[in-house]
Amino acid sequence: MSAPTPSPAGPRVVVPAGGIGGARFLRGLLAAAPGARVDVIGNTGDDITLFGLRVCPDLDTVMYTLGGGIHEEQGWGRADETFAVKEELAAYGVEPQWFGLGDRDIATHVVRTQMLGAGYPLSAVTQALCARWGLPALGVRLLPMTDDPVETHVVVEDDQGRRAVHFQEYWVRLRAAPPALSVVPVGADAARPGPGVLEAVADADVVLLPPSNPVVSIGTVLAVPGVADALRAAGAPVVGLSPVVGGAPVRGMADKVLAAIGVEPTAAAVAAHYGARGAGGLLDGWLVDERDADAVAEVEALGIRCRAVPLLMRDLEASAAMARAALDLAAEVRA
């Protein structure tokens, strides 16, 4: 009897990711490239401690989306969620009341907080949580960008004056209404890349920047010393997808934080912000939406290979087509 032929290992894909935009793209990637080994570098700058519980919104959005537990329409939080604990906390008058933690979701934060309290680093805790959701069987590792504390703060100015608030307060409570003067990933300068992060980038066959927020999701991951350098030095092609379509973010308020770093909300401006690898930046390739086809020449003039394809993740099929287009562009760049 001959030994079973080992199935050819799929490509190793590295994806730095935030929440919804990252997670939906990753689901498409898994459909487009069955057998791929996907290392997600998750943003932890949005993390916050609420009611004594450690909450990691972006890691959880990726975990729930890939694991089948996400609230589909909302794009974050658990499906079939209830809010009894939130109501009870409100009845006690406990603050903050602007951040809605659902009952099912709270279980995740309880487990995480317990494990962190027992001394496990966030990377190990995340691995344990992801095991329940079946991510290893999908070929996915969710690697927090760092095990060290990083908190994104936004400097705003409104009738209460100029002050820095936690990103979640800016995004959820203030709904990004006051102009953001600057965005600061507090602690990032002293943070070390999480276990496996730099190795994953070095070993990657392809790096894809999903249409996550370029400032507070991907920008925060890149702010961890060593990560951007590793991407620039990677042997793998780096291809990104625009989160901006037709002059506005597809959902959410990314234009507000783009303004804070002086980047216009256009597909070409975001590409220019990441920069061409040939010119010390990050990108070999960039996908813009069909309706931004006139940006292609502008992006190519920067030294970034660019294509216009549909970039709306309406459903799994559309997300998979985007992932396929990104992998095709990466192959083209490599050749």
Burial degree of 177 (CB within 10 A; 0-12, 13-18, 19+): exposed
Q: Is residue 187 near Ca ion by the rule CB under 5 A?
A: no
Using the CB atoms, write b or e for 61-88: b if 16+ within 10 Å. bbbbbbbebbbeeebbbbeebebeebee
- CA nearest 147: which of 182, 170, 115, 108? 115
**Closer residue to Ca ion, CB minimum distance, 257 or 302:** 257
Which of 32, 130, 200, 311 is the binder for ligand GDP (CB under 6 A)? Answer: 311
- Output the smallest distance, CB 269 to ligand GDP, in A: 13
Q: Which of 18, 21, 139, 193 binds Ca ion (CB under 5 A)?
A: 18
Name residues contacting Ca ion, limited to 32-61 (CB under 5 A).
46, 58
| Pick 123 or 152: Cβ nearer ligand GDP | 152
21 binds ligand GDP (CB under 6 A): yes
Q: Please say which residue, 167 or 233, places its beta carbon nearer to ligand GDP.
A: 167
Exactly one of 28, 185, 249, 285 binds ligand GDP (CB under 6 A); that residue is 249
In the chain, what are the helix, strand and coil shares in percent, each to the nearest 5? 40, 20, 35
Out of 217, 239, 272, 327, point to the residue binding ligand GDP (CB under 6 A): 217
- 147 in Cβ contact with 123 (< 8 Å): yes
Q: Is residue 19 involved in binding Ca ion (CB under 5 A)?
A: yes
**Pairwise CA distance, residues 326 & 285, whole Å:** 8
Question: Which residues bind to ligand GDP, rule: CB under 6 A?
Answer: 17-22, 58, 61, 211-213, 217, 241-243, 245, 249-252, 254, 311-313
